[in-house]
Amino acid sequence: MISNKIKEIVEQRKKSIQRDIDFMRDIGSEIFKNNRRPLSEIIKNNQGISIISEIKPASPTLGNIKKNINVKEIATEMESAGVIGLSVLTEPNYFNGSYENLKLAIQSTKLPCLMKDFVVDEIQYKIAAQIGATNILIINSICNLEDSYRKALEYSLEPLIEIHNIEELNDIRHLYDIGFKPTLIGVNNRNLKTLEIDLNTSKEIIPKIKREFGDDIIVVSESGVNIIENINFLLQYQADAFLIGSSIMKSNNIKEKILSLRGVN
């Protein structure tokens, strides 16, 4: 089950696809070339705390987080603070995201970049691939996972499969049953029905993922990570990485905030 707010966001995203079509027309056939490795490979080889830092101008729960952001400046600051990747909101209606923000983040850094959106149309995969994203978010509860996973691979994008409860592991099992080997799963600590956040969601689900699918699968804990104590708590339950948006974006000193989350003085 998902909340009425999430249903509303998804419906509005479907209605705004014309913006995506216009963007695709404007960028033409030029493809941004890069040799970046996807998030799972970077996380697997990272020795320290793996943080995926999110460029998130607004959210439905917080409203405007940062107005008139300089994406190039923020992205390079995040990279210099030692994050292993970037997540960039491209959802325009509730998060004030844009493809232009994603494009700037990709062009300004050497980091793997996740396109974070409510993916409801094939053109979103096309744009993500064309402007150089390495990863794309697939929210299991709003899509057909098998179809979405196939589409991501078709466009050479590593999917970050986002789940919110233990029952959704059945959909991951189905991918294995039909021959796929997912590399990256996100456990979102936000309940999509109530919109409340509980880190115990990761505590419950991540060990089950690791036991069933093995340590090679990379699991990212999402939402509600604000301080290093949250990270240390989740590390006990085998979280491999942390996708952090609001607490970093709200900070007056992004680099200092990321260093504190990484445990670097």
Whether residue 75 is predicted with pLDDT greater than 80 in this model: the reply is yes
Give pLDDT tens digits for 9-41.
999 999 999 999 999 998 887 777 678 999 999
Residues in Cβ contact with 156 at an 8 Å cutoff, skipping those fewer than 6 apart: 129
Between the alpha carbon of residue 228 and those of residues 8, 40, 225, the distances in Å are: 34, 22, 8
Report how far residue 10's alpha carbon sits from residue 48's, in angstroms, rounded to the nearest whole number.
Answer: 36
The owner of tokens 């940062």 is 66
Categorize the per-residue pLDDT at 192 as very low, low, confident or very high, splitting at 50, 70 and 90.
confident
* CB 233 within 8 Å of CB 199: yes
The pLDDT > 90 percentage for the chain reads: 91
The span from the CA of 264 to the CA of 17, in Å, is: 42
Q: What is the per-residue pLDDT for 33?
A: 67
* Residues 34, 141: Cα–Cα separation, whole Å: 31
Q: Residues with catalytic annotation?
A: 54, 56, 116, 162, 188, 222-223
172's enclosing H/E stretch is helix 169-177
Say how far apart CA 138 and CA 182 lie, in whole Å: 12
Residues 90-106: tens digit of each pLDDT: 999 999 999 999 999 99
Tokens of 127: 């744009």
Going along the chain from its start, the domains and CATH numbers come out as 4-25+40-262 (3.20.20.70)
CB 180 within 8 A of CB 158: no
Q: Which residue has the tokens 């970050």?
A: 160
pLDDT tens column, 205-251: 999 999 999 999 999 999 999 999 999 999 999 999 999 999 999 99
Cα–Cα distance between 254 and 174 in angstroms, integer?
A: 40
Exposed (0-12), middle (13-18) or buried (19+): which is 86, by Cβ within 10 Å? buried
Contact 224, 189 (CB under 8 A): yes
pTM of the model: 0.96
The secondary structure of 155-196 as a DSSP string is: TT-EEEEEE-SGGGHHHHHHHHHTT----EEEEE-B-TTT--
End-to-end CA separation in angstroms for the chain: 42
Mean pLDDT rounded to a whole number for the chain: 95
pLDDT value at residue 32 = 76
Tokens of 107: 């062009």
